[in-house]
């Protein structure tokens, strides 16, 4: 009897210890990240050009560079990132639960996500729109002619919702075959399960490279939605949101000022006060963010300005081959809509 009671109190104590240890103080994300020594960044399960791991496990892409930029700002070292591949379906829950510090996973900025999920979109690092890809053998040249078709789509995305809106608005019939992973949806389309595959146009270009015979498929000209893609953080930490936002803005600002990873060291001798402020030589932009004065310098030096990041990952000379001129992803000074608030 006695040992039973002892055992009982022992297990009770353990339970309490567990309950109490689960009450953790809600410190700032930046402090947590600094303490951990690396940034946990949620990325896709493989969208070439955005976030994709090569055979050696090295991640590249425009979203990956967003993670690297924040790491460069916080640590002064762009490589201190741990990537966590997430499905579209899981991404927000994983972010909310605190398993990742930031989500850079070609995620569309919408009102319900921004306001309803207690999340904060930090900006747009790629302006995209939804499109369709079909087999050339289908002899269809316009999305208006899609009727009685089966469409493969990734579940838990805005794509899934836009798809319905589009077919409803145009009074066309379709069946949506929804998959959890983009890869599965693409494979199903490739195998003939669906007549059409739909996602953001950048995604179409990227996924097409994975198909058995990319030349057999064609992207239809229509863009059926606005898809501003950007990184996301939790909504309860203003400082962390600012760090992520301005990490993006300084890359855009650097391009506008003509500062790149290659010429940044020679730029140090410039007289332009804007550039001096950007490089942390004048004023202290890092102070109000809680970062080192050379935080923006580190981003540009190690990751590059927006133009470099774009051309390296999705530009015309990559397999994705998305020409930048004429697209919204061009600086506002060149007819695009990329516009960074003043860094001062």
Partner 1 sequence: MLRIEEIKNSVKKNLRLGNLIPQLLLLFTFVFIIYYFTSNAQTNMASRNISSGFDFLKTNSGFDVQFSLIDYDGSYSFGRAYLVGLLNTLLVSSFGIVFATILGFLVGVARLSNNFLLSKLSQLYVEILRNLPLILQIFFWYFVVLRNLPSTENSFIFLDFLIVNVQGAYFPKFIFTNFNAIFYGLVCAILAIFLARYYSKKLIYERGKSLPVFKISILCLILFTTIFALIGNTDLQLKRAELIQNFGIFNYVGGVKLVPEFLALLFALSLYTSTFIAENVRAGILSVGKGQKEASKSLGFNNSQSLKLIIIPQALRVIIPPTTNQYLNLLKNSSLAAGIGYPDLASVFAGTALSQTGKAIEIIFIVMLTYLSISLIISAFLNWYNHKIAFVEK
**Spatial separation of the C-alpha atoms in residues 318 and 187, rounded to whole Å:** 22
Minimum CB distance to partner 1, residue 193 (Å): 6
Task: Count Cα neighbours of 18 within 13 Å in the Cβ-side half-sphere.
Answer: 6
Binding of partner 1 by 144 (CB under 8 A): no
CB 200 within 8 A of CB 174: no
Question: What distance, in Å, lies between the first and last C-alpha atoms of the chain?
Answer: 73
Minimum CB distance to partner 1, residue 14 (Å): 11
3-class state of residue 290 by DSSP: coil
- Closer residue to partner 1, CB minimum distance, 117 or 292: 117
Minimum CB distance to partner 1, residue 161 (Å): 5
Report the site for partner 1 in 220-249 (rule: CB under 8 A): 234-236
Contacts of 52 (CB under 8 A, 6+ apart): 44, 46, 59, 60, 61, 206
Q: 197 to each of 112, 157, 163, 270, 288, how far by Cα in Å?
A: 25, 14, 11, 50, 46
CB 192 within 8 A of CB 261: no
Minimum CB distance to partner 1, residue 144 (Å): 12
Binding of partner 1 by 135 (CB under 8 A): yes
Among 148, 213, 266, 317, binds partner 1 (CB under 8 A): 148
Binding of partner 1 by 164 (CB under 8 A): yes
Cite the DSSP H helix spans in 76-180: 91-96, 111, 158-169
Among 176, 211, 281, 292, binds partner 1 (CB under 8 A): 176
Minimum CB distance to partner 1, residue 97 (Å): 9
Among 132, 179, 246, 310, binds partner 1 (CB under 8 A): 179
Q: For residue 152, which phi and psi values (nearest 5 degrees)?
A: -85, 135
Minimum CB distance to partner 1, residue 87 (Å): 9
Minimum CB distance to partner 1, residue 190 (Å): 10
Binding of partner 1 by 193 (CB under 8 A): yes
**Spatial separation of the C-alpha atoms in residues 127 and 338, rounded to whole Å:** 9
Binding of partner 1 by 53 (CB under 8 A): no
Number of amino acids touching partner 1 (CB under 8 A): 58
3-class state of residue 126 by DSSP: strand
Minimum CB distance to partner 1, residue 191 (Å): 5
Tokens 């990325």 -> residue = 43
DSSP characters over 29-97: HHHHHHHHTSEEEEE-S-BTTTBEE-TTS-EESHHHHHHHHHHHHHHS-TT-EEEEE--TTTHHHHHHT
Among 140, 205, 244, 259, binds partner 1 (CB under 8 A): 140
As beta bridge partners, residue 147 has none
Binding of partner 1 by 211 (CB under 8 A): no
Among 34, 60, 150, 260, binds partner 1 (CB under 8 A): 150
3-class state of residue 160 by DSSP: helix
As beta bridge partners, residue 134 has 196, 218
Among 3, 19, 35, 111, binds partner 1 (CB under 8 A): 19
Binding of partner 1 by 163 (CB under 8 A): yes
Minimum CB distance to partner 1, residue 35 (Å): 21
- Closer residue to partner 1, CB minimum distance, 86 or 300: 86
Report the site for partner 1 in 59-118 (rule: CB under 8 A): 88-93, 96, 113, 116-118
Residues that bind partner 1 (CB under 8 A): 1, 4-5, 8, 12, 15, 19, 23, 88-93, 96, 113, 116-118, 134-135, 137-140, 145-150, 155-156, 160-161, 163-165, 168, 174-180, 184-185, 187-188, 191-195, 234-236
């Amino acid at each position: 009897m006695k040992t039973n009671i002892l055992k009982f109190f022992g297990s009770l104590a353990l339970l309490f210890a567990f309950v109490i240890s689960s009450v953790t103080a809600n410190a700032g994300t930046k402090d947590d990240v600094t303490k951990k020594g690396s940034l946990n960044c949620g990325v896709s399960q493989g969208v070439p050009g955005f976030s994709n791991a090569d055979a050696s496990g090295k991640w590249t892409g425009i979203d990956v560079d967003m993670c690297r930029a924040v790491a460069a700002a916080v640590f002064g070292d762009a490589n201190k990132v741990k990537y966590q591949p997430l499905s579209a379906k899981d991404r927000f829950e994983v972010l909310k639960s605190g398993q990742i510090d930031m989500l850079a996973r070609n995620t569309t900025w919408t009102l319900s996500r921004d306001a309803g999920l207690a999340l904060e979109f930090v900006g747009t690092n790629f302006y995209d729109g939804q499109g369709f890809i079909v087999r050339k053998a289908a002899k269809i040249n316009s999305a208006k002619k899609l009727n009685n078709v089966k469409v493969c789509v990734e579940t838990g995305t805005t794509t899934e919702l836009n798809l319905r809106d589009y077919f409803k608005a145009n009074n066309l019939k379709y069946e949506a075959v929804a998959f959890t992973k983009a890869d599965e949806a693409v494979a199903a389309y490739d195998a003939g399960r669906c007549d059409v595959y739909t996602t953001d146009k950048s995604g179409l270009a990227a996924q097409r490279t994975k198909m058995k015979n990319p030349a057999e498929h064609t992207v239809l000209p229509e863009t059926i939605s606005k898809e501003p893609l950007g990184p996301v953080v939790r909504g309860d930490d203003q400082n962390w949101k600012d760090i992520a936002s301005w990490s993006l803005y300084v890359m855009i600002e650097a391009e506008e000022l003509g500062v790149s990873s290659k010429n940044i060291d020679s730029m140090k001798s410039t007289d332009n006060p804007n550039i001096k402020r950007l490089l942390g030589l004048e004023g202290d932009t890092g102070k109000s963010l809680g970062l080192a004065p050379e935080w923006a310098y580190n981003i540009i030096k190690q990751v590059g300005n927006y133009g470099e990041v774009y051309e390296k990952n999705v530009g015309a000379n990559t397999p994705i081959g998305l020409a930048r001129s004429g697209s919204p992803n061009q600086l506002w000074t060149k007819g695009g809509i990329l516009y960074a608030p003043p860094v001062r």
